[in-house]
A and B are shown apart, each in its own frame.
Chain A
Amino acid sequence: MIKKILSSSWIGIVLLFMYSPILILTGYSFLDTPTIGASGNFSFQNYITLFTTPELMEMIIGTLTLALQCAIISTILGTLGAIGAFYSKKGMRGFVSASNQIPVVNADVVTGFSICVLLIVVFGLNKDSFIPLITGHVVMATPFVYLSVIPKLKQMDYNLYEAALDLGANARQALIKITIPQIIPGIVSGFLLAVTLSLDDYFITTYTKPATFNTISTYVVNATRGSNTELKTALWALSTLIFAIILFAVLVSNITTNRKAGEKNGRNQI
């Protein structure tokens, strides 16, 4: 009994530590005071500022556009790379899977800095072209797409591909109609992972971004240095919205996976 109380209270304390800052910020995003701990009146002012300040909207749209572009490139590159490497000879497969590990274990600071040195210092590419920024994000995200596709390839039923060839499909048709559909879950989770990694990144972005462009991360860090309280409290509204969206997404995905698991169990019982 004591054990149960102890363990539940530990879970409670850790959850309190993890969630109280976000929840307090959420609460204060609906008040008109710029100081946490002070009392204030209910107001949507922070949300109005968030959606009517061009600087903030540009930053949010810029971050989302960048994340989507990079995730699309990463998903294509990583999926093709995984399929190719999976069927390649040992040498090629070894090279791809080993170099794929580098950005995964490497510190983001080093990845960002090295890409900056290569593209901007050595090749003299203009930062304003967004090429270094997009390259950096793709380097960071593609390995995780690769890593989520590879296990699906390993689980795949090899006979189906052979059967398709026997039935007269050529290699390309068999790839599109047989292989890709079987690894779709891996591709989707790789894509989502790429989006979140890109949204969360600070270091690669700072080292490769155009001077006037900001993502949420770089904007927040600059804003904490500045003294504009109106923009600062608008960020509270932004973090509340992001928190709500993620909570909703997790809830939906949990319900759908539960339902799927339920269906599977039901089928097994039959």
Chain B
Amino acid sequence: MRYHFSRKQLCIPYAVFLTCFVIAPLVVIFYYAFTNGEGRFSISNLTGFFTSGNTIGTLFYSILISVTTTCVCLLIAYPVSYILARSKIKKKAILLAIFIVPMWINFTLRILALKEVLSMLEGNLAYHPFLNTIIGMTYDYLPFMILPLYTTLMKLDNQLLEAAYDLGAGKLETFIRVTLPLSLPGIISGVTMVFLPAMTNYVILDMLYNNTFIMGSLIGSYFNAYDWHSGSMISIVLLMIILIITWATKGFTEKEPEREAIL
């Protein structure tokens, strides 16, 4: 039979690749999470996670760090994006680029810089581990919050604001009842881009001498101890959190992924 080329066939390599290296690894960690060292089915990893005070404490500490980081980022980034989007200066794109540039510098090098400056200011980093972690996370993830907020605020229709003023709304009321609801997709996509990495990026804690574990550090320590079963269970818990967040924000986010706008 003669070989017929068709464009559909082009996705076969990628489909095979996705099956082998995206789907299969997830299946494997599911298997590992629910088996013990002898390869028998076991839920001891699961019960171990939810009954150990250590792991539950870690989960809560991660959530605390994530929530604080996300709020701080949002509070800093919203005014910045708002000012940038509403300003009338011509070279807005350049100003935005200045805010986005740090995203392209290797994050470990940036945290290294931050660490040196913080040690200069505080003398010893060990005195304020939580504060330093929040500063580090904010420093790292701020551009990821600014970009989606800026994108949605740029799309905001000026006529809607004028209509609100004409209908007698004050500036504050217009902001709360028009601008804020319309920028919700940007807020949601910014929050998802900050919240999850903040739960898992344990390198920032390591580099800033915060010895408390977050969810990511648990995986790291199980990896170092060759404990694949417990590590897989933590991965599954993280996957569940991701799934819940994705499901909860599904209705709000825009179809097009924001990250493609980076370049």
Q: Which residues of A contact B (CB under 8 A)?
A: 7, 10-11, 14-15, 17-22, 24-25, 28, 35-37, 77-78, 80-89, 92, 95-96, 99-100, 102-111, 113-118, 121-122, 135, 138-139, 142, 144, 146-148, 151, 170-172, 175, 179, 189, 192-193, 196, 199-200, 202-203, 206-207, 216-217, 220-221, 224-225, 235-236, 238-239, 242-243, 246-247, 250, 254, 257-258
* B105 lies within 8 A of A243 (CB): yes
* B105 lies within 8 A of A37 (CB): no
Q: Is B167 an interface residue (CB 8 A)?
A: no
17 A-B contact pairs sorted by A residue (CB < 8 Å): A14-B80, A18-B102, A25-B117, A28-B116, A78-B14, A99-B23, A103-B22, A107-B242, A109-B216, A110-B235, A114-B235, A117-B232, A147-B257, A203-B216, A235-B112, A239-B109, A242-B109
Given contacts A146-B14, A200-B106, contact A18 B238 (CB under 8 A): no
* B14 lies within 8 A of A81 (CB): yes
Query: Which residue of the partner chain A has the closest CB to B206?
Result: A221
Q: What's the nearest-Cβ distance from chain B to residue A236, in Å?
A: 8
Q: A96's contact among B14, B99, B231, B242, by CB below 8 Å, is which?
A: B14
The complex places the Cα of A28 from the Cα of B112 at a distance, in Å, of 13
Q: Which residues of B contact A (CB under 8 A)?
A: 5-15, 17-19, 21-26, 28-29, 32, 76, 79-80, 83-84, 87, 93-95, 97-99, 101-102, 104-110, 112-117, 119-120, 139, 142-143, 192, 196-197, 199-200, 202-203, 206-207, 215-216, 219-220, 223, 228, 231-232, 235, 238-239, 242, 246, 256-257, 259-260, 262-263
Query: Which residue of the partner chain A has the closest CB to B196?
Result: A107
Consensus secondary structure, chain A interface: helix
Q: What's the nearest-Cβ distance from chain A to residue B206, in Å?
A: 7
* A221 lies within 8 A of B17 (CB): no
Q: A107's contact among B17, B105, B114, B200, by CB below 8 Å, is which?
A: B200
Given contacts A117-B29, A144-B260, contact A20 B117 (CB under 8 A): yes
* B83 lies within 8 A of A11 (CB): yes
* B260 lies within 8 A of A77 (CB): no
Chain A hits for B263, CB < 8 A:
148, 189, 192-193
Q: What's the nearest-Cβ distance from chain A to residue B145, in Å?
A: 11
* B7 lies within 8 A of A175 (CB): yes
Q: What's the nearest-Cβ distance from chain A to residue B16, in Å?
A: 10
Q: B101's contact among A105, A216, A247, by CB below 8 Å, is which?
A: A247
Given contacts A107-B238, A107-B242, A148-B263, contact A217 B11 (CB under 8 A): no
* A7 lies within 8 A of B79 (CB): yes
The complex places the Cα of A7 from the Cα of B139 at a distance, in Å, of 20
Q: What's the nearest-Cβ distance from chain A to residue B39, in Å?
A: 12
The complex places the Cα of A238 from the Cα of B112 at a distance, in Å, of 12
A-B contact number at CB 8 A: 253
The complex places the Cα of A216 from the Cα of B207 at a distance, in Å, of 14
The complex places the Cα of A21 from the Cα of B104 at a distance, in Å, of 15
Chain A hits for B6, CB < 8 A:
87, 171
* A81 lies within 8 A of B259 (CB): no
The complex places the Cα of A217 from the Cα of B111 at a distance, in Å, of 11
* A84 lies within 8 A of B120 (CB): no
* A221 lies within 8 A of B108 (CB): yes
Q: Which 6 A-B pairs have the closest CB atoms?
A: A84-B11, A81-B14, A84-B10, A114-B25, A21-B113, A220-B108
Chain B hits for A105, CB < 8 A:
192, 196, 242, 246
* B197 lies within 8 A of A107 (CB): yes
The complex places the Cα of A234 from the Cα of B35 at a distance, in Å, of 46
Chain A hits for B79, CB < 8 A:
7, 10
The complex places the Cα of A117 from the Cα of B30 at a distance, in Å, of 11
Q: B200's contact among A24, A108, A216, by CB below 8 Å, is which?
A: A108
The complex places the Cα of A247 from the Cα of B98 at a distance, in Å, of 9
Chain A hits for B238, CB < 8 A:
107, 109-110
The complex places the Cα of A85 from the Cα of B9 at a distance, in Å, of 9
Q: A142's contact among B17, B28, B97, B259, by CB below 8 Å, is which?
A: B17
* B13 lies within 8 A of A92 (CB): no
Q: A92's contact among B15, B94, B197, B257, by CB below 8 Å, is which?
A: B15
The complex places the Cα of A34 from the Cα of B59 at a distance, in Å, of 38
Chain B hits for A21, CB < 8 A:
110, 113-114, 116-117, 139
Q: What's the nearest-Cβ distance from chain A to residue B80, in Å?
A: 5
* B139 lies within 8 A of A142 (CB): no
* A15 lies within 8 A of B98 (CB): yes
* B117 lies within 8 A of A81 (CB): no
Q: What's the nearest-Cβ distance from chain B to residue A188, in Å?
A: 9
